[in-house]
Chains A and B, each alone.
Chain A
Amino acid sequence: MLANFGYRDGSGEWFIVVNTDMCDGCGECVDACPASVLDVGENEYDPLSESPMVRVKDGERNRLRYSCAPCRPGYGQSPAPCVAACEPGAISHSEGWMIVDGNT
């Protein structure tokens, strides 16, 4: 599944999208994130799943507009550190809605 963490406001949308089928819970991105917003834990949208996944920490979810600001397109490095660190390619940004639509 796709787990979306982020927000939408006047400046557009910013979502960290984790593809839980690809995430192996290695935690490389946790160390790569300059704002330390990520952690590895259980998949809360699939309580019966055994495999851990990377998530945005509970207390960070409503603060991403500040913590992620330095990495938004046009500001930080491209691709963003968490995306670059993810070997399985499970993390992407802001495209969650379009992927599911099937006609990106």
Chain B
Amino acid sequence: MAEVTSQECWRWPESSLVNPDIDWKRGKLVTAGVDVGSVSSQAVVTVDGELFAYSSTRTGSDSPGSARKALGMALEGTGLTPDHLDYCVGTGYGRVNVPMAQRTITEIACHARGASIMYGSDVRTVLDMGGQDCKAISCDDKGKVQNFVMNDKCAAGTGRGMEVFADLIRVPVWEIGERSLQVVKEPEMISSTCVVFAKTEVVGLLEQGVPESEIMAAYCAAMAHRIKELLSRLGVMEKLAITGGIAKNTGVVRRLERELGIRTAEQAWSNPAYAKIPFDTQIAGALGAALFADALVSRGKVESGRKM
């Protein structure tokens, strides 16, 4: 068992990054997107529509604070301040609580646009596996939403469910995917849909002495199956890109691919200019928001709010 206390197992690492190839002072248009989700918050800053900086952090108990923290982390050490931003768009579950945002855009639109830039314009289905909900979006070559389905307000088959599970079996949440794939034979999946009942079922398995890796496999398989049911309502068109935190869980992704019989899009930048930048599946929403902000200002639909 990993040498960590139960409280730390769900605490996935936060990250931030600055693109060294861009000098923001030379840019004309600096925009930001802040995606405040139920579990994580991201901020992305773009300069003339190019990715400049991003951050991914855990959402705290207050949304405005999480939004400030995310943007602060992204801007750290760049000399750029929120006053330099031409425009900021808030998105995600807590979008109405982003203090620096001039307007909000639904995360459905933002994820489709962000994923289209990250994974390539040939993406036709975007699956956002977030902290507390799961959305399947079909989009066109410009990242425009064509249709979408969403699971109802429920943590089953979502990131928060995985965190609860990680805490319960005391395995860091970022290790679950790999370790769940180390089983010799696929166990029967957890049958309960509800996280609370699934927890009871997992406790039962632990008591029976079932190996940890098998329990993880059973949980990941259940999640993959649930997501497949959601996708089947929309209809999957290739290429399928997965965004959000669960996209980092290979145990769920591989099993979903097996269920659907197709491969998911490679988690790498479609734009070779970004090759040096670490790819983070969680920033799609914030990136989309920042690009919408850029488009809104450059098309003259809104005024720049730059103060410096």
Contacts and interface: CB of A to CB of B under 8 A. Distances in A.
Interface of A: 1-2, 4, 8, 44-48, 96-97, 99-102
Nearest to B292: A47
Most buried by A among B108, B138, B147, B149: B147
14 contacts: A1-B144, A1-B146, A2-B146, A2-B147, A44-B106, A44-B109, A45-B109, A45-B145, A45-B148, A47-B109, A48-B296, A48-B299, A100-B147, A100-B235
B184 to A, nearest CB: 37
A97 B235 contact: yes
Main secondary structure of the interface of B (DSSP, over half): mixed
A44 B105 contact: yes
Contacts of A4: 147-149
Interface in B87-111: 105-106, 108-109
B220 to A, nearest CB: 25
A14 B30 CA distance: 43
A100 B137 CA distance: 11
Contacts of B138: 100
Contacts of A2: 146-147
A46 B147 contact: no
Nearest to B289: A47
A82 B162 CA distance: 42
Contact of A45 (B108, B149, B295): B108
Contacts of A100: 138, 146-147, 234-235
Contacts of A8: 152
Given A2-B147, A100-B146, A45 B235 contact: no
A46 B105 CA distance: 9
A98 B242 CA distance: 22
Contact of A102 (B148, B235, B295, B296): B235
A46 B152 CA distance: 22
B95 to A, nearest CB: 11
Nearest to A15: B149
B258 interface: no
B106 A45 contact: yes
Contact of B147 (A44, A47, A96): A96
Contacts of B109: 44-47
Contacts of A101: 234-235
Contact of B292 (A1, A48, A96, A99): A48
B25 interface: no
Interface string B109-150: 100000000000000000000000000001000001111110
Nearest to B89: A47
- Shortest Cβ-Cβ A-B pairs, 4 listed: A101-B235, A45-B145, A2-B147, A100-B147
B233 interface: yes
Interface in B196-235: 233-235
A35 B18 CA distance: 51
Contacts of A48: 292, 295-296, 299, 301
Nearest to A46: B144
